[in-house]
Structure 1
Amino acid sequence: MPRPHEEPASGDAARPGGPSRPATAEEVQQTPEFAALRRSFRRFIFPMTALFLSWYALYVLLAAFAPGFMSQRLGGSTITVGLLFGLGQFVSTFAITMIYRSWADKKFDPEAERLRERIEGAAV
């Protein structure tokens, strides 16, 4: 039998505070549900980040190494290719934000909410 100040053996009933103790962050991170949630997030974020950084790098490289192309005026106006590419950076940032928000609302947030409810429900 463990002494009062020692940690009991593993298992819910052996946790300090009994089975109603909330799960620790480390315990939650070890669950398959959390691992699946993290994988889902990474599968969305990493490609989207790579896409945006590639687009941004293209803009910077064209500005540095193709100034003639970037300074071409379109339709005889003051609007240049470089200006459109620059404005495209803002547009793509907003588009990525909206795509992420839609994805998170439909797929990520419901799964995260189910995991939170399961973890908090286990603490009751």
Structure 2
Amino acid sequence: MAKTVNSNLIPAGGPNAAPVNGLKSNGHLRCATATFKATEALAAGDVIQLFELPPAVELVPALCTVHGQGAASATVTLKAGGVAFSSAIPIANAAKGVIDYAAVKSVEISSEAQMITAELGTAGMTVGNELVVNIVYKSNA
């Protein structure tokens, strides 16, 4: 028989006790989106400046995405102010459209505005390849 267990949001006061609201209501979710289309060939190690995030924001990694086109082994690493906050995210070559998705894997929080960049990894991008980055963050402002 299946067992039912409670999280820390269900009080021990019995079945009539009101659950605790687990939603964090402080702050506002925002999404910064950048689309980059290569107008020249880019090599491994090249950096694409995407946008600047305001100070004192908290990333929401599960909602951040990267879509792209590039060589079969191409990867990008997302950085905030030069510090990586994602692992190498693969972007594969496609004749049309967006073909890959990856979630940001770790978080950096800064008290200063941060330039978000994408550093090309194992291979570059050719003319016409596209990179779309969506960074969702919580701002308390």
Whichever structure has more strand as a proportion of its residues is 2
State the structure with bigger RCO (CA 8 A, min sep 6), 1 or 2.
2
Which bracket does the TM-score occupy, shorter chain normalised? under 0.3
TM-score by length of 1: 0.23
Whichever structure has more helix as a proportion of its residues is 1
